Structure 1
Amino acid sequence: MLYLSGVFIAFFLTFLLLTKRNKSSADFILCGWLFTIGVNLLTHYLFLTHQYKEYPSFILLGFTLPLLYGPFLYLYVRKQTSPKPFSAVQLLHFLPFVICNLSFLSFYMAPFDERVSIFKHEGREFKIELLFRLYGIYISGIIYVIISLFILYRFRKNMVQQFSNTEKINFKWLLYLIIWIGLIWGLVLWNDNANIIYGAVAVFIMWLGYFGIKQVQVFNYSNSFFTAEESLTKVITSPIAIGEDKKYQKSGLTQENIDDIHCRLLEVLNEEKPFVNPNLTLNELSQLLKVHPNYLSQVINSKENKNFYELINEKRIEEFLHKISEPESRQYTFLAIAFECGFNSKTSFNRNFKKYMGITPTEYQKKL
């Protein structure tokens, strides 16, 4: 029942993703991954119930499917944390799966009775191929979990340079997903009982289903946040305050450029207050100033001794303090005013308020 429940949930989630509107590349990757897990669990269930006598080739194919877990994990994490379009070159990650199945080509082409006989004798004729499959799964799992963790770590480390609100893009759920896969691979490496391993996979599917219900962004998350990162590769050209300064274009910023951009930055922040947009990105602010996002980030770091995230949220706190000092704001709650100033969650507001003021909003309110 555990296996069948996992199979049902995997296929059900696959169906939900296929019927979802405005599907992203990440949705298609997750869809393929869930379907693969569902088929893998189904083939193991058929093997346990001795139905290999009816579906020997299908079951063997299922035994090679764990070679796809690592590539799917890597591609999913990469797509969720990068705006770069899917490339056909990335299909090379599935090459080990293809090679593994080609090594069993003689099995697939053998007569039906012979294939059943091979299963009955535990694949004695394919000991080398089965060993190749096993170590391929080991190596694939370890490598792709490590690479996925590195990609996620790098993204989470750098996102404060590009985004003013990080609650919706911190990808904690993605970290949990990688940890889950890592634990399953730990079982593969240190446990010889296939039932325990596939049982863990079934529980993983159930957990993912529950998580998908509780955390909608797993299946409905938009990549609109990543336009900032994508535009980092594009130079925004403008004659405003930059002119044709070759040193600015080729050798980096001069001190005069830095001072000019910083001056215009403070002017825009104080007069136009773009920080009230809860999803303000470095790219959007750089477009207002008509400078390259990398240059703007450099100016913020050097002149303000802050990253983009810290600067924008500091401005939001300053705007909040200004608003609560106005008599007409007394009819509103602190949180309502905080949302008006650009914060998108109570947690984000409380954390940044305490960092800037040294006390919590509640403690500050008691002093008024």
Structure 2
Amino acid sequence: MDRISLLQGIARIGVFVSLLMAFFLLTVKTENKLANRLFAWFFIVSAIDLCGFFVLDYIQDYVNLVIFRWTICLLAMPLFYLYVLAVCYSDFKLKWKHLVHLFPIVLVNLVFLPRLYLASDTEKEIFEFLEQMPEIYFIQVLIELQYVFYIVSSFLILKKYREIYLENYTNPSTSTYKYLFQMTTVFLIAHCLVALKNVLRYSDFRQLFLWLNVVVGSVALFITCWLVMKALNHPELFRGINSKLQLTKDFLPEENEVTKEIISNKDEFVSSQILALKNYMIEKEPYLDPSLTIQELSNQINIPVRDLSVLINHRMNQHFFDFVNEYRIQKAMHILKDQSKSQLTVLEILYEVGFNSKSSFNTSFKKYTNLTPTS
């Protein structure tokens, strides 16, 4: 009884915190309202799922409601997946095609419809052992397959997001990538515990299953509180990228004998472009702009952005992010060696050379010099 009371207490707190988070996301002022609304609905769905630990005693006579509460969790991962898309891509909008994500919950409820939803009250009394019904097994298998699909899809989105950012932006909001990557990883680990719990449900380890319920509830509460703290500390955390941006490798022609010959003939021209670009970086110092993008640099030197992307990311074999930050670090080293500027702090120097965060500056400085700025 103590264990059940503990689990119900944890679940009640989890539901409260989830709904609090949803309220915060729906009311906080931000440019990315769609992402916040999707995440708010994710927390609302999570709250409905968590409340199952303590509301079943009140709704067990309403089989239709019990079944629907079981199936509502099939909306959680599609909402999270769409949230990741909305955060990563600033121009993301919901379209009719996204209704396909409702297919699992619609399918499940159609499977249950003939046997449960339309059954008479007398017929529904036979479903005392609901968890042992084949339909419930079907739901659990579908949930596992759905989870794998959306977790893998989310990781692939984040991988592409990071690559595009490095090729097109400087001082990217790495906190966005880290936050979403950490969140997706935590969800993956948490669901592994849920999957283990569901396996133990049908084993002889009943006591272990009951204790694992408490662990899962505690983990869910911890994750929810962690996300609340992240949101409160970083209400404007994200900066999305344009979904129309492509990786350089996606629009480079495949190498064959013809393209190799063309590339060979262009080597001299490419070398002159690289030299002109390097001279421009040294003379005009565009890297001092902390928000410099490859599009802006393209406009300044009158080279089409696609050509400039190929030049830097392919010909010079550098991400645009690394290319620009290398000049910033060289400028910072020059300032550090200048005795007339010895009174400047590291923070003042990093802002002067175009960085906008100390962590980004320290990481780049160590990468190019194998030293720290204070060494």
Q: Normalising by the residue count of structure 2, what TM-score does the alignment of the two structures yield? A: 0.79
Q: Which amino acid aligns with 2:158?
A: L
Secondary structure (helix, strand or coil) at the match of 1:220 reads coil
* 2:79 counterpart residue number: 72
* 1:159 counterpart residue number: 165
* 1:10 counterpart residue number: 18
Cα distance in structure 1, aligned partners of 2:119 and 2:98: 32
* 2:322 counterpart residue number: 310
Pairing partner for 1:139 from 142, 145, 148? 145
Cα distance in structure 2, aligned partners of 1:43 and 1:311: 53
**Which ranges of structure 1 fall in alignment gaps of 5 or more residues?**
234-250, 364-368
Cα distance in structure 2, aligned partners of 1:51 and 1:173: 38
User: How does 1:121-136 map onto structure 2 within 5 Å?
Assistant: 121-122=129-130, 127-136=133-142
Q: Residue 287 of structure 1: CA displacement? A: 2.9
Q: Which amino acid aligns with 1:322?
A: H
* 2:259 counterpart residue number: none
Question: Does the Cα contact within 8 Å between 1:335 and 1:346 map onto a contact in 2?
Answer: yes
* 2:43 counterpart residue number: 34
Cα distance in structure 1, aligned partners of 2:13 and 2:372: 46
Q: Residue 90 of structure 1: CA displacement? A: 2.0
1:118 and 1:353, CA in 2 relative to 1: closer, same or farther beyond 3 A? same
Per-residue CA shift, 1:288-330, capped at 9, x if unaligned?
2343333212212455442212111111012223334555523
Question: Does the Cα contact within 8 Å between 2:167 and 2:313 map onto a contact in 1?
Answer: no
1:30 and 1:341, CA in 2 relative to 1: closer, same or farther beyond 3 A? same
Greater shift after overlay, 33-42 or 179-188? Answer: 179-188
* 1:213 counterpart residue number: 229
Pairing partner for 2:294 from 274, 282, 285? 282
Cα distance in structure 2, aligned partners of 1:167 and 1:222: 7
Secondary structure (helix, strand or coil) at the match of 2:92 reads coil
Q: Which amino acid aligns with 2:24?
A: L
User: How does 1:252-271 map onto structure 2 within 5 Å?
Assistant: 254-255=266-267, 258-259=270-271, 261-271=273-283
1:10 and 1:198, CA in 2 relative to 1: closer, same or farther beyond 3 A? farther
Secondary structure (helix, strand or coil) at the match of 2:130 reads coil
Secondary structure (helix, strand or coil) at the match of 1:94 reads helix
Pairing partner for 1:52 from 52, 59, 66? 59
Q: Residue 170 of structure 1: CA displacement? A: 5.3
Per-residue CA shift, 1:194-221, capped at 9, x if unaligned?
7635852553344233343246576533
Secondary structure (helix, strand or coil) at the match of 2:76 reads helix
Q: Residue 131 of structure 1: CA displacement? A: 2.3
1:264 and 1:165, CA in 2 relative to 1: closer, same or farther beyond 3 A? same
1:201 and 1:286, CA in 2 relative to 1: closer, same or farther beyond 3 A? farther
Q: CA RMSD in A?
A: 3.1
Q: Residue 43 of structure 1: CA displacement? A: 3.2
Pairing partner for 1:226 from 241, 265, 278? 241
Secondary structure (helix, strand or coil) at the match of 1:221 reads coil
Cα distance in structure 1, aligned partners of 2:221 and 2:305: 40
Cα distance in structure 2, aligned partners of 1:53 and 1:19: 34
Question: Does the Cα contact within 8 Å between 1:164 and 1:281 map onto a contact in 2?
Answer: yes
Question: Does the Cα contact within 8 Å between 1:232 and 1:292 map onto a contact in 2?
Answer: no
Q: Normalising by the residue count of structure 1, what TM-score does the alignment of the two structures yield? A: 0.80
* 2:256 counterpart residue number: none
Q: Residue 333 of structure 1: CA displacement? A: 0.8
Question: Does the Cα contact within 8 Å between 2:81 and 2:150 map onto a contact in 1?
Answer: yes
* 2:342 counterpart residue number: 330
* 2:108 counterpart residue number: 100
Per-residue CA shift, 1:87-130, capped at 9, x if unaligned?
32122022111110122224233445654x25534267xx3322
Cα distance in structure 2, aligned partners of 1:40 and 1:332: 55
1:63 aligns with 2:70: yes
Question: Does the Cα contact within 8 Å between 1:44 and 1:59 map onto a contact in 2?
Answer: no
1:74 and 1:142, CA in 2 relative to 1: closer, same or farther beyond 3 A? same
Greater shift after overlay, 271-280 or 319-328? Answer: 319-328
Using the aligned pairs only, state the percent identity.
26
Greater shift after overlay, 28-37 or 142-151? Answer: 142-151
Q: Residue 279 of structure 1: CA displacement? A: 2.8
User: How does 1:294-309 map onto structure 2 within 5 Å?
Assistant: 294-309=306-321
1:272 and 1:123, CA in 2 relative to 1: closer, same or farther beyond 3 A? same
Q: Which amino acid aligns with 1:152?
A: L
* 1:91 counterpart residue number: 99
Greater shift after overlay, 266-275 or 333-342? Answer: 266-275
Q: Residue 18 of structure 1: CA displacement? A: 0.9
1:208 and 1:219, CA in 2 relative to 1: closer, same or farther beyond 3 A? farther
Q: Which amino acid aligns with 1:172?
A: K
Greater shift after overlay, 353-362 or 262-271? Answer: 262-271
Cα distance in structure 2, aligned partners of 1:175 and 1:213: 17
